[in-house]
Amino acid sequence: MASGALFHFSEDPSIKRFVPHVPRTNPRHAPAVWAIDEGHAPLYWFPRDCPRVTVWPRSAHEEIAFRIAFATRAARMHAIELGWLNRMRTTVLYQYAFDASAFTPWPDATGQWICSREVEPRSVTPVGDLLAAHAEAEIELRLVPSLWPLRDLAVSDQWDYSIVRMSNALPDDG
């Protein structure tokens, strides 16, 4: 069980309760409500269907390799395709906060939590400017013609990563 708050992000500001469901991308999973912890919340500061690659080191040792591989001094690197910039600028995203006590860690992804019963949010607030949210959190946000080279680099045991909605990415022409 977690303590404090966990979050869910949506473009819909009117969700009154979250009902467990089987995810489309994981049909063998038991019905659940998913939430994310505060440290991993930036993984969802994007339009829902936006493909993205996000990478960050888990330790000082990993930080060295991360900085070299991604040519950055930022603590995190997020990337989207150029074609998603306008949606990043115009999407209104809402952060739902949950009491974390009903959730347990989801072992398949760091920072993710699940609950097998309906939950009501404690609050819902707009995230605001998604580009500014990245800047304020000092997260490097890259706009790239193709996510595939970064995806190939991110998939490693050298650092932590999250790859979301790649089925919506442009085809890999490489």
**pLDDT per residue over 5-64, tens digit each?**
999 999 999 999 999 999 888 899 999 999 999 999 999 999 999 999 999 999 999 999
Q: What is the dihedral of CA 49, 122, 112, 126, to 10 degrees?
A: 30
Tens of pLDDT, residues 76-121 = 999 999 999 999 999 999 999 999 999 999 998 889 999 999 999 9
Cα atoms in the Cβ-side hemisphere of radius 13 Å centred on 174: 10
Distance CA 165, CA 40 (A): 17
Distance CA 9, CA 41 (A): 8
- Token pair in block for residue 67: 């900085």
Residue 44: give the domain boundaries.
5-168
Instruction: Please indicate, yes or no, if residue 173 is contained in any of the structural domains.
Output: no
Instruction: Please indicate, yes or no, if residue 60 is contained in any of the structural domains.
Output: yes
Q: How many domains does the chain have?
A: 1
Instruction: Please indicate, yes or no, if residue 45 is contained in any of the structural domains.
Output: yes
